[in-house]
Amino acid sequence: KCLLKMVKGNIIVPEEILNFCCNGLQGSTSPPRAQEPGEREEAQGAMASPSPARNPTEVQMSQLVLPCHTNHRNELSTGQLLKWIDTAACLSAERHAGCPCVTASMDDIYFEHTISVGQVVNIKAKVNRAFNSSMEVGIQVSYEDLCSGKHCSICKAYATFVAQGPSGSKVRLEPLTPQTEEEKIEYSIAAERRRMRLVHKDTLKDLLTHSPPDTELETRDGSGAVPAEKTRVESVELVLPPHANHQGNTFGGQIMAWMENVATIAASRLCHAHPTLRAIEMFHFRGPSQVGDRLVLKAIVNNAFKNSMEVGVSAEAYGQEMSISRRHINSAFMTFEVLDQQGRPRTLPMVAPEPGDGERRYREASARKKIRLDRKYVVSCKQTEVPLSVPWDQSNKVYLSYNNVSALKTLIAKANWTLAREKEKVRMYTLEEDKFLSFRIEMSVCITASRAFSLLSNLRRRHEWDSHYVSAELVQKVDDDDMIYHVVSRMLRHESKPQDFVILASRRKPCSRGDPYVVAFRSVTLPTHPARAEFTRGETLCSGFCIWPESEEMSKVAYYNQATPGYLNYVTTNVAGLSSDICATFEACEKFLLKNKEDLISRLQD
């Protein structure tokens, strides 16, 4: 019927019909067709209605899942989904860059559901932030059941793309200006995600260094250990023109799909069943490959836990059949499960690693599992799902620091702040949201932003202006930007003993022009500082300072706090005007900043 409608008053050559039949249902460009009488006027009338503003980098893709896209269970192949994700993300990146872009990396992806034949995959991609020559693209994937109308989230991903000039040189990108509250949050936190990517290798290395060198093999009832060598897979692919992108390089999504294929085979050899891919650790592309290259794909099961297994997979390229040197293109780690009839994960057989490199991969897989759990439950979860005090250890320091700063940046970017009180130069705002009452107090101070940042990030000096602080002892200097303090506060009238806190202080200088200085605080627990009988252990979920330069000598200083139950009565008393304690404390903060600025000038003059 579609073809008959198209040929009405037209002549369509066989090639055009063939292209339509092959591609028409998959979102590809359809052949031109004749314009129906009155169609132009109808379209113009439809376009006359106002539409909401849309991010210029946003790309939306909808794909109907056909049998050719599925695996043996009639579920969408993860490799095919990765192709679509990479395509949508690349198109979004190129909209902002205005030139060709290549995939540099893709962060961890957790697949929440599978997608069946006949359902529609909806992908939305948009640039969150542009740095010098790279940019972060956020991707949201959901499925739609056309019969029931049900929509369900599949995964959320972040990809990094690099803009390239005609000769392959890097292109300097224009900065991105976020418009909506959601875009401002993603823009702000993108700098933290970038920071976390850069230290990923060091995190793994540090965790292995502090782990026992001899990891005992797990004992599991009813199963013997399978030699890891039996799961090894090696496959070669010849890169043909259909596998290349519009720049002539092998399409990144195609490489990811090939890697998923060999990883699935390796996982199947361990469990003798059809596994389900649950998570992919960060893809990192180390170099390009071109049409005519041979891609060698290798996979092996590194470790099998009780209900999941990690498969390591790599891709190498070479240009000629007899070539000896191979170029490392990509490597990744994929987590698989095997589901029973009820959809529950089955117990898996153990893996016996090979001596040497196999034992190293076995230990690294255990370390990566811990890192994945830290990232998933500390970084990825919503603020309301994070416990107030998270246990601190060396292995999760990067993710707790990320969570600390990103929580404050999220609070800063909220749009619905309401002015509650104003006393001379001090303004107090509130934000009522779900289970939380947050407040913000701000004023302009005659001090440089960098100097205010230096003074306010040192908790050991806070008692000089905040009467609630008795002392703040530096317990651990994690690095130049993260420190842990033990804080003791004054006893209030209705309390029988003073409160103490163990606080992680994370400080960040501006990532680019226009960014503020940030000092974030949150509670953590340390084995060396348990709760003691003489104190009531207090907790802070999200608080800190944000400092914007207004001129060379003026700064806007703002303090944010997401009130916890123990602090709520104090906040509401001040918001209602029954007390001016918070305003008075902030005025004392201004005097502290001005006094120390003058002290600094005197020392410089001397």
How large is the average pLDDT for residues 83-102?
Answer: 94
Please say if the pLDDT value at position 526 is more than 70. yes
Q: Helices 357-374 and 200-209 sit at what angle, rounded to 10 degrees?
A: 110
Q: Which two tokens stand for residue 400?
A: 């707790």
CATH T-level fold of 399-605: Alpha-D-Glucose-1,6-Bisphosphate; Chain A, domain 4 (3.30.530)
User: First vs last Cα of the chain: how many Å apart?
Assistant: 90
The span from the CA of 559 to the CA of 455, in Å, is 14
Q: How far apart are CA 108 and CA 196, in angstroms?
A: 12
Query: Could you read off the pLDDT of 36-79 as tens digits, one per residue?
Result: 444 444 444 444 445 556 789 999 999 999 999 998 888 999 99
Instruction: Report, as an integer, the average pLDDT of 91-102.
Output: 93
DSSP 8-state secondary structure symbol assigned to residue 242: G
What number is the average pLDDT over the span 222-231? 83
30 vs 302, which has greater pLDDT? 302
User: d(Cα 573, Cα 120) in Å, to the nearest integer?
Assistant: 52
Long-range Cβ contact pairs of 451-456 (< 8 A, separation 24 or more): 451/593, 451/596, 451/597, 451/600, 452/517, 452/547, 452/555, 452/557, 452/593, 453/507, 453/509, 453/517, 453/519, 453/545, 453/547, 455/592, 455/593, 455/596, 456/519, 456/545, 456/547, 456/557, 456/589, 456/593
User: 18 vs 92, which has greater pLDDT?
Assistant: 92
Q: What is the pLDDT of residues 274-300, one digit of tens each?
A: 999 999 987 889 888 999 999 999 999
pLDDT in tens, 459-479: 999 999 998 899 999 999 998
β strands within 285-389, DSSP E: 294-304, 309-318, 327-337, 351-352
Helix 397-413 and helix 181-198, axial crossing angle in degrees, nearest 10: 160
Q: Are 362 and 301 in contact (CB under 8 A)?
A: no
455 three-class SS: helix
pLDDT per position as a tens digit, 161-185: 999 888 778 899 999 999 899 999 9
Closest CA to 570 of 558, 561, 579: 579
Summarised one tens digit per residue, pLDDT across range 356-400 is: 999 999 988 888 887 777 666 555 544 444 455 677 777 778 888
Note whether 128 and 136 are within 8 A (CB). yes
| For the chain, percent of residues with pLDDT exceeding 90 | 51
| Residues contacting residue 148 through CB under 8 Å, at least 6 positions apart | none
Per CATH, 62-183 and 225-381 having the same topology is answered: yes
| Residue range 304-330, pLDDT digits in tens | 988 899 999 999 999 876 666 889 999
CATH topology of domain 225-381: Thiol Ester Dehydrase; Chain A (3.10.129)
* CA angle (297, 303, 309) in 5-degree steps: 80
Closest C-alpha among 279, 457, 284 to residue 377: 279
Lowest mean pLDDT among 43-57, 365-379, 425-439, 504-518: 43-57
Q: Across residues 350-355, what is the average pLDDT?
A: 91
Measured distance CA(395)–CA(405) in Å, rounded: 18
Task: Indicate left, alpha or beta for 32 from its phi (over 0: left) and psi (-120 to 50: alpha).
Answer: beta
**Sign of the torsion formed by the C-alpha atoms of 259, 261, 265 and 271:** positive
CATH architecture of the region 62-183:
Roll (3.10)
Please, is 72 exposed, middle or buried when counting C-beta atoms within 10 Å of its C-beta (0-12, 13-18, 19+)? exposed
Summarize the confidence of residues 2-9 as an average pLDDT: 41
Write the CB contacts of 254 (distance below 8 Å, at least 6 apart in sequence): 83, 243
Please calculate the CA angle 11-13-14 and round it to the nearest 5 degrees. Answer: 135
606 has pLDDT over 90? no
The proportion of the chain whose per-residue pLDDT surpasses 70, expressed as a percent, equals: 81
CB distance 103 to 159 below 8 Å? yes
Task: Write the burial class of residue 587 (CB in 10 Å: 0-12 exposed, 13-18 middle, 19+ buried).
Answer: middle
Distance CA 315, CA 317 (A): 7
Other C-beta atoms lying within 10 Å of the C-beta of residue 251: 20
Assess whether pLDDT exceeds 50 at residue 5. Answer: no
Which tens digit of pLDDT belongs to each residue from 232-248? 999 999 999 999 887 78
pLDDT at 544: 95
Give the pLDDT confidence score for residue 388 in this predicted structure: 58
pLDDT of residue 207: 67
Structure tokens at 230: 């039996």
pLDDT value at position 473?
94
Cα–Cα dist 352/230, whole Å: 10
Residues 6+ apart with CB under 8 A from 543: 408, 520, 521, 522, 559, 560, 561, 562
Q: Which of 56-70, 515-529, 558-572 has the lowest mean pLDDT?
A: 558-572
Overall pTM > 0.85: no
How far are the Cα atoms of 37, 181, 196, 588 from residue 49, in angstroms, in the given order? 22, 25, 44, 54
Q: Is 426 a residue whose pLDDT tops 60?
A: yes
Residue 33 confidence (pLDDT) above 60: no
- Whole-number pLDDT of residue 247: 78
Type of residue at 213: P
Q: What is the 3-state secondary structure (H, E, C) of 180-214?
A: CHHHHHHHHHHHHHHHHHHCHHHHHHHHHHCCCCC
Average pLDDT, the chain: 83
Instruction: Please give the pLDDT value at position 310.
Output: 95
Q: Which H or E run contains 598?
A: helix 581-605
Question: Do the beta carbons of residue 391 and residue 377 sit within 8 Å?
Answer: no
How many degrees, rounded to 5, is the angle at CA 421 between CA 557 and CA 577? 125
pLDDT digits over 180-226, tens only? 999 999 999 998 888 888 777 777 777 667 666 554 455 544 457 89
Rounded distance between C-alpha atoms, residue 361 and residue 354, angstroms: 9
**Span 92-106, average pLDDT:** 93
Helices first, then strands: H and E counts in the chain = 12, 25
For the chain, what are the domain ranges? 2-34, 62-183, 225-381, 399-605
